[in-house]
Structure 1
Amino acid sequence: MDNQPPTPQAMPPLVSFILTRRLSCAAVMTIMLLGMWFPVVIPGLHPVITLLVMTMGMALHLMTPALVALITFGGGLRFALHVAAIASIAVTALSGFSLSAGLVTMLLYGLLPALSATVLMQLQGVRRSAQYVAIGTGIAVVLGLLLAAGTQDAGLRDWVNLLLEPLFADMASIPAEQMQAMQLFRESMVAVLPGLLALSLWMTWWGNVGLARRLAKKYGFYRGDEEDFLTLSFDKTLAYLFSVLILLMSIVTGDLLYLVANAAIVTGGLLAAQGVAVAHSWLKAKGLTFSIGLMYLMLLIWSAMIVPFVIVGLMDIWFDFRRRFPAAGG
């Protein structure tokens, strides 16, 4: 009896009404996408309130993929794409008929989470869903960088450096010792920013899909494979790609080296995610719940901690450590 799944809860009638109609779903999606512009629409607010509204708006914006995935679980891929298309038209109109804004809405915020949610319901859905999101967010970042750099007639690294310029505009007023440290920090940020951005997008988008699945299961409209997210594992292609990228870093130069190095950061981050899933499963199986929290805390405050997890993830692709212990949920 203890292993019985929880009884699905009834969704509030208003929420159920909204999520079963294309126009209302598209309206909610549009509002969430434009949430970070709320302070502009509502001028004259106190600075503290403006910051609070901006934070809440940004949170709503970043939760949009969860809404699209939730709609996909409930209404299917075609229904979700209809909603995304309507929202894209609305965003295009509200942004002064910017086709790029509508295209990004349709592809990045609509198609990608909808496809990821659809795949998640199938066999081996966790792996394939994670791969879809990784490929989609990676392509989005690369294309965004190339197009933005092209409009400024600058190299990729030079454009990223210009992008960070406002953050370091007041460096002339600080002591020489601190200026040197800040300059090194700036150079390191320029070196890794595209890769970190792609990884952050992957974690956000895929985390949104996971949250949507949890909500769909809670309210009883998730129909598909229920493989635990701790079973995350990538195939050997990712391991070979990571190895090739590391090798290319010693061969190529210029903007190509910049792209290769950041691609290596992304693939290493994906391998680290697999390593974290292995460690979490092992600690959970051993009942070391406190150590799980400590592990995530160390990852948060000490970036070098990611290296052992990259190695574990890389080795797990060949040795499948989780066969030796149950991949407990949590």
Structure 2
Amino acid sequence: MILSTNRESNEYEKIREQAHIEKVWADIEAALPKYWSLFLERDSSNDGTAKLAAHFGSPPPKHSRPAPGAAFVAPIQQYEHTAAKYREFFDPCAMEEFADDPNSFKAHLRREVPVIAGTLNQRRPELQAWQRDFHAARGKDLLEVFSNVLDFRDEWATRQPESVYAQHDAPSDFALDPLDEDEGMTLTNVIGMGIKSIVLFHLDARIFPQRARSDLYGLYFLSGMKSYGLSSGSSEFLMINDREPAANGSFIMEHNFWYPYGLYSTYAMRLFRWMDAQVRAAGGGLDPHVRYVFVSHFLSSVCSQHVEHMRIMRAHDRFEVPA
């Protein structure tokens, strides 16, 4: 989509249409075998496969070819290490204490929550506006937004036992629109769906996918970089910044930071099912309790196959390989 016109067309309505979703998914599904093979070749290793025993239905087969699950050993370990920081910070008791001192909440947020601390510490030029707006934000407003997000999470999660959640297959099934649309769960130019999804993902990767840059770029490449007839002639997974050209005059092809979370969840769930089927065919299975760790790591691997594309998309001088 194009930054200056993305709200002036009906593109967000179109990408939610079931017929459109099926066209996009058909292309993604057709591309998956190639990227899965490349993923296993690059990331799989026999080392440490026993550590995934709790996440697989049976031990990996003993032969020379690496088991598919081996590629996820390190990402799961890293996720569990990082998630502990989010869970400690956003613990209900801790949030109650912050209610008495919102400024303390902001001070601790900037130091202890990785997505906030990491973004504040980066020196990339495109982050300067966000950093300035975060510094100007009131602790009271930050606390209110995150408290509302956590309240939504608590209520919504009660309706998502695995037997129900595993059947979701359309944006309406996920019913996550309030996270995108409720003004009480957004702080303009400071706390959007990207940060919210990263926080929720680290609190519960069973039901909340991460919707960050590499995740949307991954879907862009899997879908063949197509526009699917959008009036802007661009991909729904991108937001082309035509307002602030890079130093070399190029437009930055950023990820679509307004991409609907329920729609993204639909594609992420379908990816998990496809990946799980591949691992089950090899004698194992992926643990749904960390389902979106698998998805996010795989999408990052897809991006690694398109480094040159990303250099061009990021206009070289503002390029950074996604983690």
Give your verdict on TM over 0.5. Answer: no
> What TM-score, normalized to structure 2?
0.32
> What TM-score, normalized to structure 1?
0.32
Higher relative contact order (CA 8 A, sep 6+): 2
**Higher Cα radius of gyration:** 1
Question: Which structure has greater helix proportion?
Answer: 1
